[in-house]
Amino acid sequence: MKTLTIEPLTKEAFAPFGDVIESEGRDHFMINNGSTQRYHNLGEVQLDEDGQGIISIFRAKTLEYPLQVKMLERHPFGSQSFIPLFGHEFLLVVAPVGDGSLNIDPSTVRAFRANSRQGVNYHRNVWHHPIMALRDDDEFLVVDRTGPGNNCDEFFFDEAIQLSVELD
Ligand SMILES: NC(=O)N[C@@H](O)C(=O)O
Ligand code: NI
């Protein structure tokens, strides 16, 4: 069974999948008469012409680890971001957009661990596992798309991929 190695989340490593939302090491400029640093345009909100951007909160239970990754999903009509509200680390499993077909090469699947000050923004059609909290009832601010059409494709692997992780 393929086992994923969990990589630390960095802007560079995650670039094929989307944006890392963080202030550490990022450019900023002063606003509000010098009282506030603006870390500008950290992520791109992507929408189709019929979509509407919305803000939600996800309260997530932890999954059973080690996790058998059986499926990934993608959102063809818009990006989806997850920003932790309680400052806890969380896990990501992703795969690149590929050729656009409803298929994922298991060798392209990667896992990342977000530190306590990072969020992510999955770009349109980037394959990802549904939110994987590492604390029960953890909460995430979610910016994504609502509108007509089915905005969630799922792909199930012939053989599950193992994700082992040390819980806090
Ligand atoms: N289904 C839903 O809104 N959540 C997923 O897209 C997810 O990535 O957690
Ligand atoms: Ni999603």
What is the CATH superfamily name and number for domain 3-163? Ureidoglycolate hydrolase (2.60.120.480)
Residue 168 has pLDDT above 80, yes or no: no
Q: What was the pLDDT predicted at 81?
A: 98
Q: Which of 127, 128, 140 to mutate to test the pocket of ligand 1 (most atoms within 8 A of CB)?
A: 128
Q: Which atom of ligand 1 is nearest to the CA of 122?
A: 8
Distance 36 CA to ligand 2 centre (A): 32
Residue 1 has pLDDT above 90, yes or no: no
Q: What was the pLDDT predicted at 21?
A: 98
d(CA 142, CA 122): 11
Residue 22 has pLDDT above 70, yes or no: yes
User: Is 130 a pocket residue for ligand 1 (Cβ < 6 Å)?
Assistant: yes
The residues with which 80 forms a beta bridge, in sequence order, are 122
User: Is 56 a pocket residue for ligand 1 (Cβ < 6 Å)?
Assistant: no
In this structure, what are the phi and psi dihedrals at residue 82, rounded to the nearest 5 degrees?
-130, 120
Distance 30 CA to ligand 2 centre (A): 33
Q: Which atom of ligand 1 is nearest to the CA of 60?
A: 9
Pair of tokens at residue 125: 């059609």
Angle formed at CA 9 by CA 73 and CA 144, multiple of 5 degrees = 40
The residues with which 108 forms a beta bridge, in sequence order, are none
Ligand 1, atom 2: closest residue by C-alpha: 130
51 CA to centre of own chain: 20
Q: Collapse the DSSP code of 12 into the 3-class scheme (helix H, G, I; strand E, B; otherwise coil) and give the result.
A: helix
pLDDT in tens, 131-153: 999 999 999 999 999 999 999 99
DSSP 63: P
Q: Is the full-model pTM beyond 0.90?
A: yes
Distance 73 CA to ligand 2 centre (A): 6
Pairing of strands 36-38, 132-133: unpaired
d(CA 2, CA 167): 20
